[in-house]
Structure 1
């Protein structure tokens, strides 16, 4: 066989994409096999095409490992958040937040409150994972105590978490997208506000309407009271239980590195478990890895709180590593490049260019399994088209987030999808219809693209500077 390498043909690309989808369906839906095995099997399908077009196994392995390396920070975050969830439950942090939340939040406005609280937490901390693993778990407990559908509550929680993941200057994906698109960070955030602002207001309104008209009366208050009783009997509930949460939020807001801050918060949870919850010294340390075990007598509280610890995240970590490997192989073998070429030939205006960017971001999540991969594919695959059409790169960065960041929790095997499902205890396809903020960001971005609203173009001036004009 010739050692000359070539780009895969369109039939070869379609073979990989169709095989990927078919393998996912057969393994997960038809045979109920672990999704990790489906992703591992996909490695060999891509390698078969890679071998056919001239790549050696060593070269493909290098691409696979690079894909894993590029997304390895997400794995470290998962490990840290797993430890934090376990100790914050055992230390009474999450139970205290649930308890006090039940006393002050009315059921009819709970969905809006959950959406806003998670949005504020994610903006302050810059992490959707950390927000879901702390405030999100607490909101799930409160919502379940009110008798609300857990999928609807998860939709409000995740929607709020991705407000900050998209807009916070502390968010790694926000910073990464601005950098990849060669746009000033603040300009990038301002550009996103044209989309995220309306999406936030509309999503908030939908949660209010749902709360007032679709939640029966004032909610199941008897269940809320039973939850409060069980929590107060099993845990020491007090205001100072939430100190670890306040410390972590403040440190993250001060732009301290997220992983050591989250691990420090997990350590505080262990200390709180020992000092205030009667947990033994060695057991409180072991909870960092193994998590704790709750027997409160209330089934849904036990289901909610029997989670956490590094070991709780091991299956998730394996899944994400395999998904990142798929993305690395597709990048190395040129499959993503072929998709790029086909899309660029079609996109000849702002609307079509918006579609290609968002599809590239979604492909990054679907085939690469991580938000980091999605913002790379969305920005790098389509950046040439923005320059060719004279569209300001602030539009590129905005569309990259719309197609990449916000679609991450929509893909069951992506890092965001797996993390949210595992942490909140609701499957991806179950909470998917309620990700109203995420869907609105996509819809509004497409609307702007095809109506040419808030699409900035660049003009060359005599002084070699660029001016912006808004086409209304």
Structure 2
């Protein structure tokens, strides 16, 4: 059935070193996809399982169970792919970008870039899609303003991860809620207590810094060109923002995510047909293959060739391999061994918060993807939350802070590679300017030690003496 003992920390360390070697050689030396590196890592963990005399059947069961636990995220991701494709073809995403550009002011450009990317990511649920569309536009405009590109990239990525972390359309948001067994909207509400002040402070920082780099008289022709290009290829209208309002409204009212997002994709197809002149059959087909058209404007070519279920298949494979790896680590006992180490140290909400974040960073560093980090952050520390009577809404919030948020901070993760490649700035170049990310981490740790928004469950058997009674009772 399983191991007669947990792996020693020496054995765990050996597996982790091997994992780093596989990831580094596969991605940086051989240039292989991260999916293959994760797949190869399965057998590294299995080798430890064989040493611990765990049967292959038991390990396979753990692998399949790990994949099964995350299948909701896979299903949501496929519907999100359809939604992004149809929302671009229907002019919904272009309208969001257009109206964002229309209020652009050079001296508050960094703030505007942060907010535009935040709104785009909240409406699409994808940091990658945001960076590849609105983010690319912001990089070009920022370059024309003479602002250092690492600083612009910091504003873009900060905004892009607001939605990746907070949007009910985001696969990582849905996956974290599922892994932590927390209602999706409750998870978002919990995160908002940290994200709201982080967004506010980051906004102030981007406004202040913007005045140091931008004079009052700069050439805004790049913005004009972008807006004219959008108008030439799309019908732009405030009415086209309505599908985004409807979808987010339905999700906020706790309607199931998959049918709501699918409904949003249908609305996108209708908009493509009725507002953009796309044939009905093509408008439906775009939901699978994504939107594709060519123009003489590089910005539009980047913007338009996006979305579709087909575009998500590589990410789906990544999720499956990552989930399988997490299931294997759970079955072999790696996560339990690490959790026991944290259990002895994390004896108050502050340390509990840090241990969850370290678990998330651990997953990004060794797993190379947000999906792995969310598994490690939640699985390694979930029992500690239950034992201390801390509500799992705190677990899910901290898992996102340590997992999703740290993904673009590691050069070899999928997020780090994508952002550096898409925006043309190295990970270490933009890292000092990820102010939203740093604020989320800092505020989360502060909340833990100050016992702010640390809700308690009724099953708190052994309340920790260092935890005050200021925690709010869970509903």
TM-score, normalized by length of structure 1? 0.80
Q: Could you tell me which residue of structure 1 aligns to residue 246 of structure 2?
A: 247
Contact 2:38–2:321 (Cα < 8 Å) also in 1: yes
Distance in 2 (CA, whole Å) between partners of 1:457 and 1:73 is 26
Q: Which residues in structure 2 correspond to 1:121-270 (within 5 Å)?
A: 130=125, 132=127, 139-140=134-135, 143-144=138-139, 146-148=141-143, 149=149, 151-161=153-163, 164=166, 172=174, 195-215=194-214, 220-270=219-269
Distance in 2 (CA, whole Å) between partners of 1:4 and 1:173 is 28
Q: Could you tell me which residue of structure 2 aligns to residue 53 of structure 1?
A: 52
Query: What is the Cα deviation at residue 338 of structure 1?
Result: 0.7
Distance in 2 (CA, whole Å) between partners of 1:396 and 1:249 is 24
Query: What is the Cα deviation at residue 434 of structure 1?
Result: 3.8
Distance in 2 (CA, whole Å) between partners of 1:229 and 1:375 is 45
Q: Deviations over 1:188-230 (max 9, x none)?
A: 8887676445433322222212332234656651111111222
Question: Residue 377 of structure 1: which of 360, 376, 379 is its match?
Answer: 379
Q: Give secondary structure in 1 for the equivalent of 2:125.
A: helix
Q: Which residues in structure 2 correspond to 1:392-431 (within 5 Å)?
A: 399-408=398-407, 410=409, 417=415, 421=419, 429=427
Query: What is the Cα deviation at residue 53 of structure 1?
Result: 0.4
Contact 1:355–1:446 (Cα < 8 Å) also in 2: yes
Contact 1:203–1:437 (Cα < 8 Å) also in 2: yes
Q: Structure 1 pair 470/238, CA: closer, same or farther in 2 (3 Å)?
A: closer
Distance in 2 (CA, whole Å) between partners of 1:465 and 1:11 is 32
Contact 2:356–2:378 (Cα < 8 Å) also in 1: no
Query: What is the Cα deviation at residue 282 of structure 1?
Result: 2.2
Contact 1:84–1:288 (Cα < 8 Å) also in 2: yes
Mark the runs of 5 or more structure 1 residues left unpaired by the alignment.
Answer: none
Q: Deviations over 1:12-40 (max 9, x none)?
A: 11111111111111111122111111111
How many pairs does the alignment contain?
452
Q: Could you tell me which residue of structure 2 aligns to residue 97 of structure 1?
A: 96
Query: What is the Cα deviation at residue 70 of structure 1?
Result: 1.3
Contact 2:194–2:440 (Cα < 8 Å) also in 1: yes
Contact 1:146–1:219 (Cα < 8 Å) also in 2: no
Q: Structure 1 pair 321/367, CA: closer, same or farther in 2 (3 Å)?
A: farther
Q: Deviations over 1:321-351 (max 9, x none)?
A: 1111111110110001111122223445655
Q: Structure 1 pair 137/246, CA: closer, same or farther in 2 (3 Å)?
A: farther
Q: Structure 1 pair 37/44, CA: closer, same or farther in 2 (3 Å)?
A: same
Q: Structure 1 pair 34/49, CA: closer, same or farther in 2 (3 Å)?
A: same
Query: What is the Cα deviation at residue 290 of structure 1?
Result: 1.0
Contact 1:83–1:288 (Cα < 8 Å) also in 2: yes
Contact 2:272–2:278 (Cα < 8 Å) also in 1: yes
Q: Structure 1 pair 107/131, CA: closer, same or farther in 2 (3 Å)?
A: farther
Contact 1:252–1:258 (Cα < 8 Å) also in 2: yes
Q: Give secondary structure in 2 for the equivalent of 1:105.
A: coil
Q: Could you tell me which residue of structure 2 aligns to residue 288 of structure 1?
A: 287
Distance in 2 (CA, whole Å) between partners of 1:245 and 1:420 is 25
Query: What is the Cα deviation at residue 444 of structure 1?
Result: 3.2
Q: Structure 1 pair 172/346, CA: closer, same or farther in 2 (3 Å)?
A: same
Q: Which residues in structure 2 correspond to 1:426-465 (within 5 Å)?
A: 429=427, 432-447=431-446, 454=452
Query: What is the Cα deviation at residue 297 of structure 1?
Result: 1.1
Mark the runs of 5 or more structure 2 residues left unpaired by the alignment.
Answer: 144-148
Q: Give secondary structure in 1 for the equivalent of 2:306.
A: coil
Distance in 2 (CA, whole Å) between partners of 1:266 and 1:423 is 28
Q: Deviations over 1:39-94 (max 9, x none)?
A: 11101100111111011111111111111111222212221121111111112222
TM-score, normalized by length of structure 2? 0.79
Query: What is the Cα deviation at residue 312 of structure 1?
Result: 1.2
Q: Give secondary structure in 2 for the equivalent of 1:293.
A: coil
Query: What is the Cα deviation at residue 456 of structure 1?
Result: 6.9
Q: Could you tell me which residue of structure 2 aligns to residue 43 of structure 1?
A: 42
Distance in 2 (CA, whole Å) between partners of 1:4 and 1:131 is 39
Contact 2:109–2:142 (Cα < 8 Å) also in 1: no
Q: Structure 1 pair 107/193, CA: closer, same or farther in 2 (3 Å)?
A: same
Contact 1:71–1:324 (Cα < 8 Å) also in 2: yes
Q: Structure 1 pair 82/215, CA: closer, same or farther in 2 (3 Å)?
A: farther
